[in-house]
Structure 1
Amino acid sequence: MQKRILSLILAFTIASITVPARALTHDELVAKLQAGSDANAAAVLTPAARTLRGVVDRVDERNDTLLIRLAAGRTEPFKVQDGLIFNAVRFGDPVEISVQTISGFPTIVGLTKQ
């Protein structure tokens, strides 16, 4: 009888244990958002963009980067999300850029010539 009670308790305990769901990968989260199943997750997925102004100092298509001269002569490299930006800018163009950190790199997600 005690064996039967212990096996019932054990079975009940095992049945009541919940296994935590695994975390979604980035691609799964994007697919879920595109399907419209979780509108609140968009705020988690999209990091805030910052807007900067500067002058194009160098265009480096080979490495998908633009070198932008910002305030006080400080020059910073930025990855380019859309390669078509290279057709729109040249050395010396004053620009306003929207930058987000994507995969650890500051990346231009929007550009307007001034």
Structure 2
Amino acid sequence: MKNETINHISSECPAFAQNQCKNRHASVAKTLHWNLCKKHQLTCSIKWYKYQPERVIVNDQSKLFRDYGIRKDRVIRANRPDVTLIEKIKKKVSLIDVTVPWESRVEVKEREKMD
């Protein structure tokens, strides 16, 4: 049996952490999505805590995708970033993948996301 530390309970314990980690991840991704909508003048709710992100939001300058598969010419294991932002005028694409690890696992998660 593992020690019942805060780290173990909130991030590692299979009986508890799986659901809590998914909820934290979804909350962070939703808040990030809302902030990007505001920044790029895309349609969204006035209050962040009432926001329910749509899969695709578009205006003349930007496109914002949530959990949307990326087409590619080769097999990529993880092809659904949490948020994809296309800035049409700048011709720039940002792929954003969220993780909410305990501080002792930040480097591990960074490596996982980059791979």
For the aligned pair, the TM-score class normalised by the smaller chain equals under 0.3
Question: TM-score, normalization: structure 1?
Answer: 0.26
Question: TM-score, normalization: structure 2?
Answer: 0.26
**RCO greater where, 1 or 2, for CA within 8 Å and sep 6 or more?**
1
Q: Which has the larger radius of gyration?
A: 1
Larger proportion of strand: 1
